[in-house]
A and B are shown apart, each in its own frame.
Chain A
Amino acid sequence: MTATRIHIIGVGGQGTVLATSLIGQAALAAGININVSEVHGMARRGGVVESAVTMGDLMSPIISNGEADILLGFEPSETLRAAVKCNNKTLVITNNHPLPPFTVSIGKGVYPDIADALGKLEKKVGSLVALDADALAHQAGTVLSLNMVMLGVLARHADLPFDEKHLKKAIKDNTKPKFLEMNIKAFDLGYNS
């Protein structure tokens, strides 16, 4: 199979690390070679969290600028921050619900005009899917299921070497049973959005 490189970006607390790990579990179950990298420690204290998944005939767990096949952004301004990972064929999937950084909340920074900026980005990349994933997560029960919504959207739009059944099984095997129903609901809302 050909190699697939997925770069994932979000904000501490949005569940990007779990989402990344679930993509890895799904790939493993499908018998695909996989490498995953994460940032832990200091970077997680409310800061930017980046992770990467590479699949297929690859060994590197990280992705250089311009080399992401898929950019999965959990927060729109963070998607813009990671835009440099994209090339003119990249599929960008992004939440368009803003989570302004604290610098903006207290009036010491300007949050970009997201609709305009994503419009510009769309013209530069292969394709761009933007949706209010926070709203779908709320609909599923809690904003905490945002990462499941994003996985659903990914499964729908990306040409992955495994299908959504593998992802659903990974969710089932690796998340708390108490939240399973909600997580699957969130995944489906993302998938069918």
Chain B
Amino acid sequence: MTDEELDKMMYEAVERIDMLDDINRSVMQELKGKVRRKRSRALWRMVLFAFGMPLGVAIYGYVAYRLISIYPSEPYFVGSIMLSVLASLYFIVRGVNNFSLSDV
């Protein structure tokens, strides 16, 4: 390798090192942003899970209770409401068991 070639290669190598630094910086910046977004989604999901689901269950239970108390003498109606309440409870329990913060 001649001196001139060595000089040129050193120039190119320094240029390449700068570019790789730039790549490294932008990759890490993007990844940190992604992780931040993922964490914030997980937080919102947890808040929704912790407050939203109990609220939904409470509203649903209250409506079912009101309907049963309005039509207490209709056994088929009461039965179907109870069945739907049980089905909802089953799905809620399954949702609680499957809940994962990382699975956003």
A binds B: no
